[in-house]
Amino acid sequence: MENKKKILAIIVIFLVAAGLFVYFYKYSKEPRSFNYHGFTVYEVMKDSYNIEVFFANDPEPHYLSTRYNPKDLEYIEIADSKLRDNLLKDEIFITMDPSNPNVTAKSVVALIEISKVTSNRFLFNIPTKGAFTEKKGENPVKYCKDVTKRTAIIWLKLTNQTRIYSDSGCVIIEGFNEDELIKAGTKLTLKLLGVMD
């Protein structure tokens, strides 16, 4: 009789443990999500998010992949009331200073984050190219003075703060390190898409 109780206790413990394992395994695999200004944001994994967006005349959801949670970008100031007018033109050049010793290939990630939205044919479909503020290889040389009615310029700069503003129609993205440049670039795209104010 005592053996039967022990066996029964072991079976019960095993079933409870198996149930807990299945429960936590299932729910740990389901993406966590939250609503942000009417957009559903899914946390895919640490430092990886998908934002659900809908395109015109398409009822199916599409997903914009981003490294940052929009809530974590709210501290970045955008002082440009004409951001869309300054950017949504026939072409965009994103330029940076290659002579700055603190600029590495990591800064290019900010350019990619912006370009994947501005050049996306389902979103803005604007040819977006990289450039430098001085001659380096075959890359175009672009400055803020090259802004025209057809050409938008975004200047990525390492400074002592993180912010987005414009100067004579040129959109300037500043970050105090390259990670901050990437964050500010991401905030710019989320602002263009209407995800962030």
For 87-102, how does the pLDDT look when each residue is reduced to its tens digit (9 = 90+)? Answer: 999 999 999 998 888 8
Choice among 18-32, 127-141, 149-163 with the minimum mean pLDDT: 18-32
Which fold is adopted by the domain 76-192? Chitobiase; domain 2 (3.30.379)
> Cβ atoms within 10 A of the Cβ of 133, count?
18
Beta bridge partners of residue 77, listed in sequence order: 163
Q: pLDDT at position 107, please?
A: 87
pLDDT tens string 15-33: 555 555 554 554 455 568 9
Token output for 181: 């440049």
CB 50 within 8 A of CB 63: yes
Task: Assign 49 to helix, strand or coil.
Answer: strand
The pLDDT value given to residue 20: 54
Q: How far apart are CA 189 and CA 191, in angstroms?
A: 5
CA-nearest of 182, 184, 191, 162 to 86 is: 191
* Of 108, 96, 90, residue with least CA distance to 152: 90
3-state secondary structure at position 14: helix
Q: What is the pLDDT of residues 34-59, one digit of tens each?
A: 999 999 999 998 889 999 988 877 88
Residue 64 DSSP symbol: E
Global pTM exceeds 0.85? no
pLDDT score of 141: 96
Tokens in use for 60? 């199916």
Which is more confidently placed, 26 or 166?
A: 166
CA angle 135, 178, 187 (to 5 degrees): 105
CA distance 98 to 103: 7
| Residue-range domain boundaries for the chain | 1-30, 76-192
Q: How many residues does the chain have?
A: 197
